[in-house]
Chains A and B, each alone.
Chain A
Amino acid sequence: MNRVRSAAITLVSPRGAVFLLLAIMLVAITVLNPNFAEPGQFIRFVQRVAPIAIVAIGQYFVIVSGEFDLSMGALITAQVVIAGNLIGQDESKSVPVLLFMIAFGIVVGIVNGLVTTLLKVPSFIVTLGMMLALSGGVLFWTGGAATGNPADGFRQIGRGGIRDVPIVDIIPFSVIILVVLLALAIWFSKRPFGRTLIAIGDSSTAARFAGARVWQVKTTAFVISSLTATVSGVLLVGYAGVHPSVGQGYEFIAITAVVLGGVVLGGGRGWVVAAVAGAFALEALFTLLNFAGIPSTLRDAIQGGIIILAVAYSATTFRARRKGHSTQTLPPGKEPDANDGPAQPAPQMSPATGSEH
């Protein structure tokens, strides 16, 4: 009984709300289009979300550490164009080019991270500059037109899958990649790295005093973010083909998804699973609008309204719940609810005010 109640409380809490939203969306889609609930259809839906969800995982790590990554979309485009131009029809080049793309992603992440942490440039500006440089560079290289088309074998990563599976018929590779990356991400966030990242996002000064190497951890977060953009790019090559505008807007979609998942901009609070659920909720919303026959031009308007409402909901609820509670969010299973002892917050408050002297 008590467990049911606390589960219900979690569902309406900021972190749980995204799952509630997602459930409502999925039910609504199923009502409009019963076929959607069939396993085969559903797995297609998951496949469609995979690139967004993967980018959201990367953006989660950056946002929770208190930074932004606006360069993701441009990096996706860059990777897609690299794959298209360098692999061409020569299947044997797939592996070396893939390795090159990963290296390129790592370099972009390291540059973003180091300029942000060591040169103290706000990450908004660093990644904005990176975005301009990458997208300008890609367009310069391709002359602004769609060029190249990677070999079919490479495109299979994004569009193919394990065939003849009972029930769902096909398990797309992208779904498998998403599951693996999500598992990795959960593992990362439970390790010291993930905990340090959240501590840094909450207060980078306090984390530094506690002995964290802020620049290393944040740079790692940027590298993770760039790597997820790379993976997403590889999937999109198979799915959408090569086009200089393929990754356009992904940075804002990723940020929206992460924020829908209750992750606080400015860092220090959030759960990677909820961020992925945010990506699913966003895509479910688009699917729903599609099925409901709403003109695609209004999609943006509705998306805008929903994200404002979702964040307003979590911000106002969180404020109400925060009174008398500590702000810790880990571990994910334990939502601080009304039963938590009021003794916790007190010892955390006093050192915070005194530490500057």
Chain B
Amino acid sequence: MSTAAVRPRRRVPLDSTLIVYIALIGVIAIGAILVASVGRNFFSEGNIRDILTGMSVLGLVAVGQTLVILTGSLDLSVPYVISLSSLLAAETMKGYSGNIIQGVLIALGIAAVIGLANGLIVTKLKVNGFIATLGIGLIVKGYLDTFYKGSSGSVPAEFQYIGATGIGPVPISTIIMLALATLVFLFLRRTRTGHHIYAVGGSLDVARLSGLRTAQPIIVAHVICSVTAGMAGLLLASRLGVGSPTVGSQGGYDLLSIAAVVLGGTLLAGGRGSIWGTIGGVAIFAVLNSVMSVMQVNPFLKDVVRGVVIVVAVAVYTGRVIEQRRARYGTKEVAK
């Protein structure tokens, strides 16, 4: 009964992704005014390039994180996967351009194995995603701390171009990120597993009773998430020129990517959300960062602003979602 009623009501005037982009435009407008007030141009080519570059790494991680959160799980292991992949790639390449493909494959392959472990622990051992990925993250962290004392390996110049060049103001890294987002978008829209990811996140029990294999979408989501984190690691390696054991945890990509996903309108409980919303959330973060850098805000105060913005934005946003839900339940029976 309720599913039939939901369908037509899903096309409510303001859908969640739209709100995110309205918020983004608002942030850009305020940012542009603030930046103009110190005599700089927000829309200068350099600034746009900075913002887009800032989006690329967090964007890659957040796209994967979106899938995991849609299934109702979480991935806290991403920062360590990022560091590990940057190290594996840099150590395999050793500065020779002939080893690029090898390095990329090894880094992404190991990342996929970690994602598979996450997925299997969540689905087969029934461990909450929070604990499973925290545990796997700690294991990878222990490995990194034990076997790597500092940055190591080196990346050939050809590979560094990926992080350094761009077409006009758009960096290659951002194009890769957006291409990946498009792929994942199509995956969610067009494939069976994509639909199952939403179903499992909406309600695991209902999905199971409807005859889905509930384990498979969760495992796939975790694998993709780790692979995108691995790609973020490759990107960071290409930017730094070396692999670093702390590059992931210093960036705080675990909590920031979750925040970006939620900021993008995806429900933390799973089952609802979109990739483009997440990209919007990442863009909001990037704009915020860029504005604060231009305004020369104290780096510690940046965290305070970020924290407040996350909470306020999500508060404004969830207020809407709850209202929509009430209306849905209320129309049939008691319209208060």
Residue of A nearest to B268 (CB): A122
Complex Cα gap A246–B330 (Å): 50
Report whether A115 and B125 are in contact in the complex, using a CB–CB cutoff of 8 Å. no
A266 within 8 A of B: yes
B315 proximal to A (CB < 8 A): yes
Contacting residue for B131 out of A132, A302, A311, CB 8 A? A311
Q: Are B300 and A140 in contact (CB under 8 A)?
A: yes
Is B128 located at the chain interface by the 8 A CB criterion?
Answer: yes
B10 close to chain A: CB less than 8 A? no
**B134: chain A residues within 8 A (beta carbon):** 252, 255-256, 304, 307
Cα distance A126–B134 in the bound complex, in angstroms: 20
Contact across chains for B259 and A298 when beta carbons are under 8 A apart: no
Residue from A132, A252, A297 with most neighbouring chain B CB atoms (10 Å): A132
Contacts of B300 in A (CB 8 A): 136-137, 139-140, 144
State the majority secondary structure of interface residues on A: helix
Q: Contact at A301–B142, with CB atoms within 8 Å?
A: yes
B139 near A133: Cβ-Cβ < 8 Å: no
A316 on the B face (CB < 8 A): yes
The listed residue (B127, B136, B259, B301) touching A125 by CB distance below 8 A is B259
A140 touches B138 (CB 8 A): no
Residue in chain A with minimal CB distance to B333:
A357
The smallest beta-carbon distance between A313 and chain B, in angstroms, is 9
Q: Is the CB of B138 within 8 A of A132?
A: no
Q: Do A308 and B125 touch across chains, with their CB atoms under 8 A apart?
A: yes
Asked whether any CB of chain B lies closer than 8 Å to the CB of A31, the reply is no
For the complex, is A130 an interface residue (Cβ under 8 Å from B)? yes
Query: In chain B between 9 and 42, which residues have their CB closer than 8 angstroms to a CB of chain A?
Result: none
A70 surroundings in chain B (CB, below 8 A): 255
Which chain A residues border B126 with CB–CB below 8 Å?
312, 315-316, 319
User: Would B315 and A121 count as touching, CB distance under 8 A?
Assistant: yes
Whether A132 pairs with B304 at a CB distance below 8 angstroms is yes
Roughly how many angstroms separate A299 CA and B135 CA in the complex, as a whole number? 12
**B307 and A304 contact, CB distance less than 8 A:** no
Assess the A121–B318 pair: CB atoms within 8 A. Answer: yes
Q: How far is the CB of A118 from chain B (nearest CB, A)?
A: 9
B158 CB within 8 Å of chain A:
no
Q: Is the CB of B131 within 8 A of A301?
A: no
Give chain B residues whose Cβ lies under 8 Å from the Cβ of A137: 300, 304
For chain B, what secondary structure do more than half of its interface residues adopt (helix, strand, loop), or is it mixed? Answer: helix
Asked whether B311 lies within 8 Å of A125 as measured between CB atoms, the reply is yes
**A302 CB contacts on chain B under 8 angstroms:** 142
Tell me the smallest distance from the CB of B257 to a CB of chain A, in Å: 11
In the complex where A135-B303, A308-B132, A312-B125 touch, is A125 in contact with B139 (Cβ < 8 A)? no
Min C-beta distance of B32 to chain A, whole Å: 24
Q: Digit string of B285-317 for contact with A (CB within 8 Å is 1, else 0)?
A: 000000000000010111111111011001100
Interface of chain B residues 25 through 66 with chain A (CB within 8 A): none
Are B301 and A136 interface neighbours, CB within 8 A? yes
Tell me, in angstroms, the Cα distance from A129 to B311 when the chains sit together. Answer: 6
CB distance from B147 to the nearest CB of A (A): 9
- Min CB distance A344 to B, Å, is 21
CB nearest neighbor in A for B311: A129
Which of chain B's residues have a CB closer than 8 A to the CB of A135? 303
Residue A164 CB within 8 A of the other chain: no
- Determine the chain B residues whose CB is within 8 A of the CB of A264 once the complex forms: 128
A5 interfacial by beta-carbon distance below 8 Å: no
Does A326 have its Cβ within 8 Å of any Cβ on chain B?
no
Whether B146 is near chain A, meaning CB under 8 Å from some CB there, is: yes
Chain B CB within 10 Å — which of A140, A256, A265 has the most? A140
Given that A126-B311, A308-B131 are contacting pairs, would A300 and B318 also be in contact in the complex, using a CB cutoff of 8 Å?
no
CA distance A347 to B154 in the complex (A): 65
Q: Enumerate chain A residues within 8 angstroms of B222, measured Cβ to Cβ.
A: none
Chain B interface bracket (under 10, 10 to 19, 20 to 34, 35 or more): 35 or more
- Check A295 against B131 for contact (C-beta < 8 Å): no
Interfacial chain B residues near A129, Cβ < 8 Å: 259, 307-308, 310-311
Q: Does A259 contact B (CB under 8 A)?
A: yes
CB distance from B78 to the nearest CB of A (A): 15
Contact residue among A122, A124, A126, A297 (Cβ-Cβ distance under 8 Å from B142):
A297
Bound Cα distance from A285 to B155, whole angstroms: 39
Indicate whether A56 reaches chain B with its CB closer than 8 angstroms. no
A125 touches B138 (CB 8 A): no
Interface residue from B131, B137, B314 paired with A265 (Cβ < 8 Å)? B131
Can you list, as one digit per residue, whether each of B246-281 has a CB less than 8 Å from chain A (1) or not (0)?
000000000100110010000011000000000000
Beta-carbon nearest neighbor of B131 in chain A: A311
Q: How far is the CA of A62 from the CA of B136 in the complex (A)?
A: 24
- Residues of chain A within 8 A of B161, CB atoms compared: none
A12, CB-defined interface residue at 8 Å: no
Q: A264 to B131: give the CA distance in the assembly, Å.
A: 11
CB under 8 Å from chain B, chain A span 241-295: 252, 255-256, 259, 264-266, 295
B319 located at the interface, meaning its Cβ lies under 8 Å from any Cβ of chain A in the complex: yes
Residues of B within 8 A of A134 (CB): 307
List chain A residues, Cβ under 8 A from B196. none
Whether the Cβ atoms of B138 and A119 lie closer than 8 Å is no
Chain B residues contacting A308 (CB-CB under 8 Å) are 121, 125, 127, 131-132, 135-136
Q: Please name the residue on chain B nearest to A123 by beta carbon.
A: B268
A170 to nearest B CB, angstroms?
Answer: 34
* Distance between Cα atoms of A125 and B310 in the complex (Å): 7
- Whether the Cβ atoms of A299 and B142 lie closer than 8 Å is yes
Q: Which of B269, B301, B310 has the most CB of A within 10 A?
A: B310
> What are 21 of the A-B contact pairs (CB < 8 Å)?
A70-B255, A121-B315, A124-B258, A125-B262, A128-B310, A129-B259, A131-B307, A136-B307, A140-B304, A256-B134, A259-B131, A265-B130, A297-B146, A300-B142, A301-B139, A305-B135, A307-B134, A308-B132, A311-B127, A312-B125, A315-B126
Interchain residue pairs A-B with the least CB separation, the first 10: A301-B142, A136-B303, A304-B138, A132-B307, A129-B311, A312-B125, A297-B145, A133-B307, A140-B300, A308-B135
Residues of B within 8 A of A (CB): 121, 125-128, 130-132, 134-143, 145-146, 255, 258-259, 262, 268-269, 298, 300-308, 310-311, 314-315, 318-319, 322
